Amino acid sequence: MADEPEPPVAQQTVEEPLDLIRLSLDERIYVKMRSDRELRGRLHAYDQHLNMIMGDVEETVTTVEIDEETYEEIYKSTKRNIPMLFVRGDGVILVSPPMRTGT
Amino acid sequence: EENTAYMPSPNIHSLSAPVLMSRKQTPSEFLKKIIGRPVVVKLNSGVDYRGVLACLDGYMNIALEQTEEYVNGQLKNKYGDAFIRGNNVLYISTTKRRG
């Protein structure tokens, strides 16, 4: 059973995931990163590594403290604003349009 | 020999026939076949993402639609569209979508 080479049908309507990020250029996006960080800002540029240039960014860093006596989990988040930011791609986990309700 | 004509079927929610695994197929063939199906993507960190597979590439970068994020089995977030960087992916699995 030889593998027959498939004739190249012009069906390349499937874009790759990076093409879908291209649709978000100049739009506001949400980025989930390692180390419990999240970014919300405007995507100006990106590359195949997911290095990104983002403007007007709000970074949220979330930490969990455990109370030694009650063992309750205390979630704290710290935010800061950054006018223009270069994000190194290897820290990126997920990219999405900002949370919208409905649709 | 089935002709792998590409036919996305995003409206099929439950598929009675599982993806054929009875003959040898390369991982890339599997990845082409599951496009359009509901999948579970598990990350190295243990977080689960459930959604419809829109597309993916050779680095396992994934684009999902109607995504739900589960941490420790609990639904934490929903994303309309989500792009997941491939290096974080532990596995991609098909699933019957729970309504």
The pLDDT tens digits for A59-97 are 999 999 999 999 999 999 999 999 999 999 999 999 998
Cα of A73 vs its chain's centroid, Å: 26
Interface test with B, best of A38, A94, A99, A103 (most B CBs within 10 A): A94
Q: Rounded to the nearest 5 degrees, what angle is found at the Cα of B86, between the Cα atoms of B95 and B99?
A: 25
Bigger pLDDT: B18 vs A15: A15
pLDDT confidence tier of residue A98, bands split at 50, 70 and 90: confident
Answer yes or no: are the C-beta atoms of A44 and A24 closer than 8 Å.
no
Instruction: Kindly report the average pLDDT of chain B as a whole number.
Output: 81
pTM comes to: 0.77
pLDDT at B47 over 70: yes
CB contact (8 A) between residue B85 and residue A89: yes
Q: What DSSP element (H or E) covers A31?
A: strand A28-33
Q: What is the pLDDT of residues B60-72, one digit of tens each?
A: 999 999 999 999 8
Nearest chain B CA: its distance from A31 CA (Å): 9
CB contact under 8 A, A14 and B35: yes
Give the integer Cα–Cα distance in Å for A12 and A17: 13
The more confident residue out of A89 and B33 is: A89
Note whether A96 contacts B56, CB cutoff 8 Å: no
pLDDT score recorded for residue A77: 94
pLDDT band at residue B75 using 50, 70 and 90 as cut-offs: confident
Burial of B83 (0-12, 13-18, 19+ CB in 10 A): buried
As a whole number, mean pLDDT of residues A43-68 equals: 96
Which of B80, B84, B85 is closest, CB to CB, to A100?
B80
